[in-house]
A and B are shown apart, each in its own frame.
Chain A
């Protein structure tokens, strides 16, 4: 159950486009700031492979200038000894 959160910054002038594209991604919740061009992005997936798909979808958004990882959670099970 990987859960991650990021801060997303857009390229100059591309903020609304970035938000629109983020909102179309499966497994992604977007929380745009009310007074600055920054959004919190939270991703949640069932396993590592769907996590990888979410990650690829985010990387394909060309309007994103910088996506900074802030938080991550993964169940112990997938990498238990």
Chain B
């Protein structure tokens, strides 16, 4: 009899062969028993739990437990590949301290209580808080890791039933600048292209995006493209040398915040070199400028509203005169030759160019601007909305697009349109069957403002789901102290104890990922459905059902009549009504069940892979480009200047501090730190220094330093040339470690348009301990 180990090895072999065949069509391997299946295992499709790449996985279930993972060869996202987080993802279900029971704070301590008692208490406290302090004294703070149904029922309960726009999600901290960038340039959110662009492009320009660690499977696809398409070039444009830089054909380092000047310089040089696609620009582009010197949101009550003023090509070209390569070289640290090289790549009519970015451009006090400026480059040369040509903003979280941007779980948004728009409110009221007056036409608080309102007392009760703000908020101490103030009531739904459950009054145990049914929407507009494959532990319940249960207890049962067995299908079909039509149609539930994801707009049975061109987009009028998101059917090029960061190194705080992620850990680490192999790989946070700085400070890898900013200080271990190398005068610290909270010292400055904080830049002092 063939042993179980041999069965599994055969399965591993056949999975790899299938992955190789989808990457390298025609590849042959010696005959072997590739088709054998392991006894007892059944395989089921699901999107990965972790990052915004949204790989399709097949999860092996054995005796009711998830025990194996392989990349789904049928998934167009990853074609059978999978990264170390995805492969180990199922182990995150089985950590020893999984929350199995609800908890309530009694006499200062969290004690286990029946789930029904906790849900009663939550509903009761919402009613009492609203009665005492008004509807805007309560809030929900969710996540780009919410499933689409979670976010949908949250928006319906809070905006439709309770009548407050105090609905935000942690995607405000990661994707808001991408949203406002898309809206200001194109009038509609989310990328025009899809991952298939990788298979057609010649040049990839990565703007502050360590794809090798943050989007590893997509980066494998870039490397694979380069291996088989010899013209391929990967250019890494960054403030720190990373694994991506090492794999790139060219690595260019620049001073923080000066990407604004670099983008304008590239535009200047494109015009100077006569590389503007004149016919495209004349037919499809309008020129605008907005306010300048717009602030940083550091003051409570900060308010800013941008306005678009028309300009023209000549006005735009004159604006760019300040950005000659020589002037920009001294500001940015990038040589004039490299700036011209970048312009030549964008401007070459014989090369297809894709720009990728993620947190580097979004977590930026001018995040909206830098998004606009990279769009400008693609628009000037007409390299957009065609296979292999386009700007591509990547997401960090598995459903930042699906749940936050599409469902609209941000203060100003509705599932279709914004609260300020009367037609959008009427449509929402009709679908939700609530009086239109229930939906407040004024946005309330974005995320930073919401936590400031918790501090001031304007918000008294907050429900936090699938996110860990007591690790991830910038200038953390202020907001932790706010949450712990007298008269505040915090409810946290999560799967493990975290620093956020530590400050909770009620903890609700959540069913995680494949312990419930749901959908995620990834970076390329792909909606992916997953079935419940295993039972949740103890009394853990999905976030969707938790919200429905609380809504019913508050008297909104008629708005949430779903049957627990079919509720996800019912919610999806209700939600789809918001997105009818060729511009944003979503696939029916049955189609999602069958396929490893479907790209929207899904219209008349077909996906729309490239928007805004008549050959690929049924919503586009005419025979070529149609940027129908704007009333003038044109994409907008914005004149946006370079403006400095709010806090820059000085004599007292002479280093830049940049925070970020590592390959092995997912965000605040609450799941991946419970996966032994990932935890062992990177057990604690560290501070990366340039070797010259380490020598000057007299420290070596493994020794301790103290990082001091105007917000506080913390001690940690130094890492020199272990994974990444910051530039001289820079420090990099990952934020996954709840025992070393780097956000104690970060700054809560944000982009005044997107309200997204900048976690990449503040001034820090480094002391040897």
Contacts and interface: CB of A to CB of B under 8 A. Distances in A.
Interface of A: 1, 3-7, 9, 29, 31-36, 38, 40-42, 44, 48, 51-52, 66, 68-76, 78-81
Given A40-B29, A70-B19, A79 B12 contact: no
Interface in B2-51: 5, 8-9, 11-13, 15-17, 19-20, 23-24, 26-30, 32, 38
Contact of B16 (A5, A9, A81): A5
Contacts of A33: 20, 24, 27-29
Interface in B708-763: none
B94 A80 contact: yes
A48 B677 CA distance: 8
Contacts of A1: 5, 8
A64 to B, nearest CB: 13
B30 to A, nearest CB: 6
B479 to A, nearest CB: 32
B60 interface: yes
Given A33-B27, A70-B19, A72-B87, 15 more contacts: A1-B5, A5-B16, A31-B16, A36-B26, A42-B12, A68-B220, A69-B83, A70-B15, A70-B16, A70-B71, A71-B15, A73-B12, A75-B67, A76-B65, A79-B676
Nearest to B66: A76
Contacts of B16: 5-7, 31, 40-42, 70-71
Contacts of A35: 26-28
Nearest to B38: A73
Contacts of A9: 227
Secondary structure dominating the interface of A? strand
B27 A31 contact: no
12 contacts: A1-B8, A29-B13, A40-B16, A41-B16, A69-B84, A71-B16, A72-B70, A72-B87, A73-B38, A73-B60, A79-B94, A81-B98
A68 B87 CA distance: 11
B96 to A, nearest CB: 6
B603 to A, nearest CB: 34
B364 interface: no
Nearest to B21: A33
B91 A79 contact: yes
Contacts of A34: 28-30
B669 to A, nearest CB: 17
B68 interface: yes
A70 to B, nearest CB: 4
Contacts of B647: none
Given A7-B23, A40-B17, A42-B12, A81 B96 contact: yes
Interface in B106-162: none
A72 B69 contact: yes
B338 interface: no
B174 to A, nearest CB: 25
Contact of A7 (B19, B94, B680): B19
Contacts of B32: 31
A75 B91 CA distance: 10
A72 to B, nearest CB: 4
Q: Most chain-B Cβ atoms within 10 A of its Cβ — which of A42, A52, A69, A76?
A: A69
B88 interface: yes
Q: Most chain-B Cβ atoms within 10 A of its Cβ — which of A42, A70, A71, A79?
A: A71
B148 to A, nearest CB: 28
A69 B12 contact: no
Contacts of B74: none
A4 B94 contact: no
B329 interface: no
B13 A72 contact: no
Given A36-B24, A70-B16, A71-B16, A76 B9 contact: no
A73 B8 contact: yes
Interface string B522-553: 00000000000000010000000000000000
A16 to B, nearest CB: 16
A77 to B, nearest CB: 10
Contact of A74 (B9, B15, B68, B95): B68
B676 A78 contact: yes
A44 B15 CA distance: 15
Contact of A4 (B38, B81, B87, B223): B87
B67 A3 contact: no
A36 B65 CA distance: 38
Contacts of B27: 33, 35-36, 38
A74 B67 contact: yes
A48 B30 CA distance: 30
B80 interface: yes
